[in-house]
A and B are shown apart, each in its own frame.
Chain A
Amino acid sequence: MIRVEGLHKQFGPVTAVDSVSFVAPDGAVTGLLGPNGAGKTTTLRMLYGLMRPDAGRIFVDDVDAVADPQGAQARLGVLPDVSGLYPRLTAREHIHYYGELQGVSGAALRARTDELLHQLDMMGIADRRTAGFSHGERTKVALARALVHNPRNVLLDEPTNGLDVMSTRAVREIIRRLRGEGRTVVFSSHVMQEVSALCDTIIVIARGRIVASGSPDALREQTGHTNLEDAFVALAGPEHEAVP
């Protein structure tokens, strides 16, 4: 479970995230929906401890992520916005590296790696160097290494961005399975269909603020639009201020 209270982040004169609060419960998918530059990535970066909020509190399974970012990181599986791989290492070596950094080792690490390779349907590419991998294969490797320590909470920043249809379906499949296993899943997207197909709760962010939240049905009701896309446009507003 992830609990966020009054999160605030300022970049010079620009307010990137402004009093954002939400709760992402176990066994549910929470979607951060918003246009590019709305503050989704900044919010997630504060959750996984690489950015320090100017104000606000974050709890990951009751661990204070601001005071103890490493404690929170041990409970999080993270797929950041940019997930570069090492072209000269194999898929399996990527998973092993992150496993060892997470404190998993030996037989447990080998077993967990095999499990992930099976789950993500990567057995065919497990021992190939990642240099020539397709975008979908790279995303799978990045996901697998993020999940190696079996985290209770999973943060995915635009996980389907740039993927083809088949890979997008595979990623959705993985997200559903993670929810089925009782984990907390938070993912961000600027794609309507994506969010409406997967999320139990949608949090709409625009210009750093939460403008609406609730189940897809609740959002339609709230805005009076039957089409979720119209609802989104109505909530986010047509003009967006770009924020890094």
Chain B
Amino acid sequence: MIRTLTQAWVVMRKELRDAFRDRRAIYSVLFGSLFGPVLVGVMINAIADRQREVEDVQIPVVGMEHAPVLVDWLRQQAGVVVVAGPADAESAVRDRSEAVVVVIPDDYASSFRASKPIEVRVVSDGSRNASRPKVQRVRRLLERYSSEVAAMRLIARGVSPAVVTPLRLEDVEVSSAQQRAAVILNFIPLFIVLAAFTGGMQIATDSTAGERERGSLEPLLVNPAPRAAIASGKWLAATVSAMLSVVITTVLCLILLRVIPLQDLGIRMRLGPGHVMGLLSAVLPLCLLSTAIQTYLATFARSFKEAQSYMGFLMMVPMLPGVLSSVYPITSQPWMYPVPILGQHLLMTEVLGGKAPDTSTFVMTAAATLVAAVLLVRLGTALLRRERIIFGR
């Protein structure tokens, strides 16, 4: 037993040293760890920027002097700045120097006095998605001013404004920017779990299928080390790499959520060291299983290429709970926690939601995952005794 452990340690050290001299392995760990946090950061920042743009709107107005009351009213609205518009409104919008320009006609004052409809032009480019929220904001402001003036005119003529408002529309926008951002934040658990799968992949395949393809498996197995030591050494090396990847991803996500102006989106989400500890204690045990599956499959595969295609399929497994829960909301049931991957998904969601389950739940999930991992490593060890596996088929 002790010999098996020391030999496994020897194999693990060698595989880690070998792997971390390999640029491909380093890239796969780094890319796997950076991809998620960077993507989340970029997306949330884009939403926040858009949101700020709508709230703090600068409206270029052509012909301000014709409608001083309207301009004053606009200036009183929160977050609105009125500036003089460009001489040629249409070309300014077309060449994208302005998102929207309001043009007030010369006859504004006389038409206003005569209570005739005034043509106020809102110049915009409908093909630009990015400027749409801003254009809508401007339109809504002008419409509101229009209906306020209309109401006053009716009151002056002794008619209740309610009479001319048979329908009062109220928009109930269910997808607020806050919710969109929250959806993106929900990706964080997925990216952390993905890191558990990408981080050890390179070592798992290179040290098994790669070892045989290089012709170094046969001489390795001639050493009087127990097969269990060799199989577990390779598995543990992959696990260390996967854990490293998970830690990098989690810490980056934490830093990211501190840097990103979440409060601009109205999200109050403070992630502290406690959350990080919770996330890590949920996901680190999963690394033992993800790499056990990978090592087993790659040992079984006929070639390095076949092993890599297995790894590709395997990447879909960690996405399942996330995808399923978006279609069919998962309410956590006690039996779900010992199910590997699903259990980790639940634990992470609950940690991020601020109601972390008690320690025994963490221990139960980790223990179930560990049992599954050890079982797979034993199967992998048995594979290494087969002549067809050692010498290839």
A residues engaging B (CB < 8 A)? 45, 48-52, 70-71, 73-74, 76, 78-89, 93, 97-98, 100-103, 129, 142, 145-146
Chain A CB within 8 A of B221 CB: yes
Verify B222–A48 contact, CB threshold 8 A. yes
Chain A CB within 8 A of B96 CB: no
Cα distance A9–B14 in the bound complex, in angstroms: 34
Residues A49 and B222 in contact in the complex (CB < 8 Å), given A88-B22, A89-B18: yes
Residues A86 and B18 in contact in the complex (CB < 8 Å), given A50-B387, A50-B390: yes
Chain A CB within 8 A of B218 CB: yes
Residues A145 and B224 in contact in the complex (CB < 8 Å), given A50-B390, A88-B22, A101-B10: no
Verify B219–A145 contact, CB threshold 8 A. yes
A-B contact list, 8 entries, CB within 8 Å: A79-B219, A80-B219, A83-B219, A85-B214, A88-B22, A100-B7, A101-B224, A103-B3
> Which listed residue (A70, A86, A93) contacts B224, Cβ 8 A?
A70
Residues A76 and B215 in contact in the complex (CB < 8 Å), given A86-B18, A89-B18: no
> Which listed residue (B14, B18, B214, B224) contacts A73, Cβ 8 A?
B224
Number of cross-chain contacts by CB at 8 Å? 77
Q: Within 8 Å CB of B11, what residues of A?
A: 101
Majority SS at the chain B contact face: helix
Cα distance A84–B219 in the bound complex, in angstroms: 8
Most buried by A among B14, B18, B221, B224: B224
Cα distance A43–B199 in the bound complex, in angstroms: 41
Residues A76 and B21 in contact in the complex (CB < 8 Å), given A86-B214, A101-B7: no
Most buried by B among A82, A87, A89: A82
Cα distance A45–B387 in the bound complex, in angstroms: 10
Nearest Cβ on chain A to B9's Cβ, whole angstroms: 9
Verify B387–A89 contact, CB threshold 8 A. no
Q: Within 8 Å CB of B3, what residues of A?
A: 103
> CB within 8 Å of A: which of B188-232?
211, 214-226
Cα distance A85–B222 in the bound complex, in angstroms: 14
Nearest Cβ on chain A to B376's Cβ, whole angstroms: 23
Nearest Cβ on chain B to A149's Cβ, whole angstroms: 9
Nearest neighbor of A71 in chain B, beta-carbon distance: B224
Chain A CB within 8 A of B17 CB: yes
9 more CB-based (< 8 A) A-B contacts, given A50-B222, A100-B10: A70-B226, A83-B219, A84-B216, A86-B214, A88-B18, A88-B21, A97-B10, A101-B220, A146-B219
- What does the 1/0 interface line of B1-34 toward A look like (CB < 8 Å)? 0010001001100100110011000000000000
